Amino acid sequence: MKDDICDTTIIDKKSVEAIKKAMVRHETAERLSETFKALGDPTRIRIIYALSKKELCVCDISATLGMSQSAVSHQLRILRNLKLVKFKKRGKSVYYSLDDEHIMSMFEKCVEHVSEPNKE
């Protein structure tokens, strides 16, 4: 017998129906999944962290992470396509920042969650 599965098949129909009605739309779940996939890469996490501290140009991000500008630009393109970061061109430089406060809040909550001591 496993401790992580029910020993009964009784379904709480009220709960199931309420959750079905409130369930996130399939398209929203797809977009959220793509966002989490993008955040599943340590390099992109480090870029998000750097941008959570300050708006930076590609050169600065590259120097911070010890990566080529080309490699950083590739990662930034992925983040930009998912609306996690935005950019401004100033002269010959391109400056990146987090797209909005939601990104900062989500990132901080995730860092807080993984930094919690193991509860088991």
Tens digits of per-residue pLDDT, 86-107? 999 999 999 999 999 999 998 8
For residue 94, what are the β-bridge partners? Answer: 89
Q: Are 98 and 48 in contact (CB under 8 A)?
A: yes
pLDDT (0 to 100) of residue 6: 77
Whole-number mean pLDDT of the chain?
91
Domains along the sequence of the chain with CATH: 23-115 (1.10.10.10)
For residue 26, what are the β-bridge partners? Answer: none
Q: Show Cβ contacts of residue 59 under 8 Å, excluding neighbours closer than 6 positions.
A: 69, 93
Q: How confident is the model at residue 3 (pLDDT cuts 50, 70, 90)?
A: confident
* pTM of the predicted model as reported, rounded to 2 decimal places: 0.80
Distances (CA, A) of 17 to 8, 11, 25, 88, 93: 19, 11, 15, 46, 53
